[in-house]
Amino acid sequence: MTNKASSGRFFEDFSLGEVIYHATPRTITEADAALYLALTGSRFSLFCNQEFAQRLGFKQTPIDNFLVFHIAFGKSVHDISLNAVANLGYAELQFYLPTFAGDTISVLSEVIGLKENSNGKTGVVYVHSKAINQKGHTVLSWKRWVMVHKRQHQMLNSFEVKPHLESQLALESLFAPTEFNSKHYDPQISGEKYLLGNYEKGEWIDHIDGLTIDEAEHTMATKLYQNNAKVHFNQHQMSNSKHHERLVYGGHIISLCRTISHNGLANAQWLLAINSGSHLNPSYAGDTIYAASQILDKVNLGSGVGVLQVRTLGFKNMSWQQMQDQFEMELDGKKSYHPQLVLDLNYSLFIPA
């Protein structure tokens, strides 16, 4: 009799065009939102102030985009990345609708690309994932690609199919939350006066503050998202890995950087899209995360609202003053990153104009 527990999918288990329905759809509650505050320290008003959210036009406090993403992403881990060697990147992540406490999120992924590595041991799987609420509406979607182990070390000589990935979502494809009426927006609530017009293309913001990751904090966050990737939870196994320690879920790093970025981007309340994202180096408990952001572009959408396209860098155990001149280097014509740079995120934020 074969063991009833699943050890996840290997490269050979994916086929192009296959749609995978991920297990354990989950109802998101007000309590998840409170836990998200406690685990990240987030202070964006839209997600923790019901009066503010309702004044803007939301029926109730929406759930933080990043929390929705983490829960949706967590659903896909068991099928897609349980045996991942590495999460290589994200692209085309986009929000369509706000999520409210009580909504239940299901997640599907379509395999949109497959590529064997020449070592015969691993391959790259590209998926397009969608999170759908209980009414059947798509809440968000994203593409990501992961390097996964092969069950058997050999070349299958399958065709390589690499999907087209936009390096940036077109402005007209973004869904601004229709509830957001900037007429009633009061920057005194966020504590910062900077709106769309105050940001300049190319401008850097040093978010100053650092947040140290504790072991129970990142594991609780990742368990809350029901993300069951072993690298975050099994010290007994990780002790024998090259890391020696549990890895912090990359999404937790994104959330910490988002929290830190409140200091300088406090009015950029809503995440429209993540154009691209890479975890450049691993983080461990004990690391202190810092962040700095560059304004890549800004677009006034009219009606008192606009979009900031932002690149946020997350780095650890050093300040932006130390990091700013050395985060990216050309080495023999190849781009190389500082070993303490942990995140490079290009995303689009909705902000009153």
Nearer CB in complex with a copy of itself: 33/124: 33
- Strand locations in 207-269, DSSP E? 211-212
Among 12, 179, 215, 297, binds a copy of itself (CB under 8 A): 215
The piece of 5-13, 153-161, 167-175, 275-283 that touches a copy of itself (CB under 8 A) is: 5-13
Over the window 93 to 122, marking each residue x when it contacts a copy of itself by CB under 8 A and - when it does not, the resulting string is ---------x-x------------------
Pick from 276, 156, 202, 207: nearest CA to 43: 207
Alpha carbons 317 and 61: distance in angstroms, whole number: 34
Residues 183-212 binding a copy of itself (CB under 8 A) are: 188-192, 194, 198-200, 203, 205-212
Among 119, 234, 324, 336, binds a copy of itself (CB under 8 A): 234
Nearer CB in complex with a copy of itself: 29/152: 29
Among 9, 39, 109, 298, binds a copy of itself (CB under 8 A): 39
CA 305 to each of CA 52, 144, 182, 195: distance values in angstroms, whole numbers, following the listed order: 17, 29, 7, 9
Over the window 293 to 322, marking each residue x when it contacts a copy of itself by CB under 8 A and - when it does not, the resulting string is ------------------------xx----
Pick from 81, 235, 88, 89: nearest CA to 149: 81
296-330: b or e for each residue (b if 16 or more CB lie within 10 Å)? bebeebeebbbbbbbbbbbbbbeebeebeeebeee
Nearer CB in complex with a copy of itself: 134/336: 134
CA 182 to each of CA 190, 261, 307, 310: distance values in angstroms, whole numbers, following the listed order: 14, 21, 13, 20
Among 124, 140, 266, 349, binds a copy of itself (CB under 8 A): 266
Nearer CB in complex with a copy of itself: 174/224: 224
The piece of 154-162, 224-232, 296-304, 306-314 that touches a copy of itself (CB under 8 A) is: 224-232
Residues 147-176 binding a copy of itself (CB under 8 A) are: none
Pick from 343, 259, 275: nearest CA to 308: 275
Residue type, 2: T
- Give least dist CB 151 to a copy of itself, A: 16
Residues 47-76 binding a copy of itself (CB under 8 A) are: 48-52, 61
The piece of 27-35, 87-95, 121-129, 158-166 that touches a copy of itself (CB under 8 A) is: 27-35
Residue type, 350: F
Nearer CB in complex with a copy of itself: 18/51: 51
Alpha carbons 345 and 312: distance in angstroms, whole number: 5
User: By the 8 A CB rule, do 68 and 62 touch?
Assistant: no
- Assess 24 for contact with a copy of itself (CB under 8 A): yes
Size of the site for a copy of itself (CB under 8 A): 81
Cβ count within 10 A of residue 291: 30
- Give least dist CB 197 to a copy of itself, A: 13
CA 200 to each of CA 170, 209, 294, 298: distance values in angstroms, whole numbers, following the listed order: 20, 22, 9, 8
